[in-house]
Structure formats: C-alpha cells, structure tokens
Amino acid sequence: MTALLSAEWTRLAATRLWLWGLLAALASGGLVGLLALVGPENFNPPMPGLDTEQGTRVLLGLLGFTVFAPALLGTVAVAAEHRHRTITTSTLFAPRRWTWLAAKLAVYTGAGLVYGVAASAVAGGALFGAAALKGVTLGLPVSTVLALLGRIALTMAVYTLLGVAVGALLRNQVAALAVVGAYFYMIETTLMLIPGVKLIYPWLPGGATSALTGFTYLADAVADQTGGSATALLSAPAGAAVLVGYALVAIAIAVAAPLRRDVA
C-alpha cells in the first residue's frame, strides 16, 4: 500500500494540479480577507460589522461556501485517469483495483486537508489582520474563530474525498464535474423548495455541511421564505459523521463498480 500511496503522490506532484489547488486555496482565503478589509458594514446592502458576531460569521460562512472547490479538484484528478487512458496501465500494475483507488482516496483526502488548512490559515490571518487594521475586535472569541476555521478545513478534506469518489464513479470528467457543481449550486437548494424535504435537510450533504461548519444561512433563508421555523441542524460531530457516511457510500460504490467494469 505504501508503494501505491507514493505512486499516487508522485502522480499528483508531477502535474500542475497541486499548484492550481494551492492557488485556489490561497485565493479563497484571500477573498475572505479582502471582504474583511472592505468591511461587512460597507457591503451593499450593509451587514453587521466585523466587531459583531454576525459580521464575523458572515465572512467565515463565505469561506464555507468555497468547499466545493477542493471537491472539484478531487473529481478532476481521478476522472483524468479515464480521460487520458492511464487507467489501463494503472489497472495492470494493481489488478486488485480497489487498492489503488483506496490509495488515491487517501492521498487526495490528505491533499484536501492541506487545501483546507491553507485556505483557513489565509482567511484567519486576513480576518485578524483586517480587524487589527481597523482597530476593532472580532465579534467572536478567538478560540471560536479558530474552531470554526478548523471545522471548515476538515469539511474541505471530506469534500475532496467526496469529489474523488464521484470522479471514480462517473469516469467522464465533464459529467463528473457537472454533477458535483450542479449539486452544490442548484440541486440541493431547489430540493429545499419541496415541502417536506426541509425535514430531511439536516441529513443532506448541504445540511450536514452547515452543521459541521456552523453556518445556517441557507436553512434560515428557506425558513424565512416558506414562513416556517428554521430546521434544527445536527450537532457538528453528527454533521461530520453524516458527510463521512456519504463519502463512504460513494467510495463503496466507486470501489465495487470498477471491479465489474471492463477497462477498454
């Protein structure tokens, strides 16, 4: 297994994908920093400032919205094996196909965690820096901010795992990207409009993500519009468990499906 892990790492490190990933991480962190510098009170419409709890949560929540980016990178990385037809050689070198898929999942989950830590570190640094520049104190205790940043980093790792699993499952790079992108941008939001779906929202990927990252805007917004009360989300550990559960199901299918597929 160490051989497969080291091979996957070599494969990732030899392309520029890791560089694009790092740039994306720094950019998403930097975007939060830029918004912090502008200040939520200057947004259009204005929002509570950095020195309020809500203002700080808005900015951290925006970072939470970028978790789909590492998922897409994971999807690209795995679907590339099919697109560039290296899958044939990979399968020949590891005929027990689940082994190299497991190695890929491990390497990319690690990479996703690095992505999350990089994005969170930049965002956190920028947030504290902006507050210091403006001479205000963040509206949340430092320990709470750090904990939320840590949860976002962890979410990014789990999402990378999900992305890899979807890429392994769908094989077609464009289709895989479309499915992952469409789900996060449209499908789940649309589902929320159906009465009753709200009840299962805590167990959907978006609901579990909200529970893990601690941001509930979507649930609150839907509650506002439908006139109902906000759906109670799961606890953070339960949300994390649900997300990992989705990833495990996707992986199980991704591992089981290629076993019966012909590599053509």
Partner 1 sequence: MNIEVRGLTKTYGTVTAVSDLSFDVPPGAVTAFLGPNGAGKTTTMRMMLGLVTPTAGTALFGGRRYADLPAPSATVGAALDGAGFHPAHTARDHLRVYARMGRYGTARADRVAELTGVSAFAGRLTRALSTGMRQRLNLATALLGDPRVLLLDEPGNGLDPEGTAWLRRFLRELAAEGRTVLVSSHVLGEVEHLADHAVVIRQGRLVSTGPIGELYGPATVLVRSPEAERLARGLARDGVLVEPGPPGALRVHGLDAAEVAAAATALGVALHEITSERPTLEQAFLHLTGGSR
Residues that bind partner 1 (CB under 8 A): 3-4, 6-7, 10-11, 14-17, 80, 84-86, 88-96, 100, 260, 262-264
Q: In 3-state terms, the chain is what percent helix, strand and coil (to 5)?
A: 80, 0, 20
Of residues 178 and 259, the one with the C-beta less far from partner 1: 259
Of residues 8 and 51, the one with the C-beta less far from partner 1: 8
CB atoms closer than 10 angstroms to residue 96: 10
Of residues 86 and 226, the one with the C-beta less far from partner 1: 86
Of residues 13 and 34, the one with the C-beta less far from partner 1: 13
To partner 1, the closest distance from the beta carbon of 259 in angstroms equals 10
Dihedral in degrees, nearest 10, Cα atoms 39, 43, 46, 47? -50
Look at the block and give the residue holding tokens 């570190």.
121
Task: Please give the radius of gyration of the chain, using alpha carbons only, rounded to the nearest integer.
Answer: 20
To partner 1, the closest distance from the beta carbon of 9 in angstroms equals 8
Pull the structure tokens for residue 60: 């951290």
To partner 1, the closest distance from the beta carbon of 165 in angstroms equals 20
To partner 1, the closest distance from the beta carbon of 80 in angstroms equals 7
> Rounded CA gap, 192 and 197, in Å?
6
Of residues 66 and 90, the one with the C-beta less far from partner 1: 90
To partner 1, the closest distance from the beta carbon of 164 in angstroms equals 16
| CA within 13 Å, CB half, 225 | 12
Coil, strand or helix at 213: helix
| CA within 13 Å, CB half, 82 | 22
> Rounded CA gap, 235 and 241, in Å?
10
To partner 1, the closest distance from the beta carbon of 118 in angstroms equals 21
The reply to whether omega before 205 is within 30° of 0 (cis) is no
Of residues 10 and 235, the one with the C-beta less far from partner 1: 10
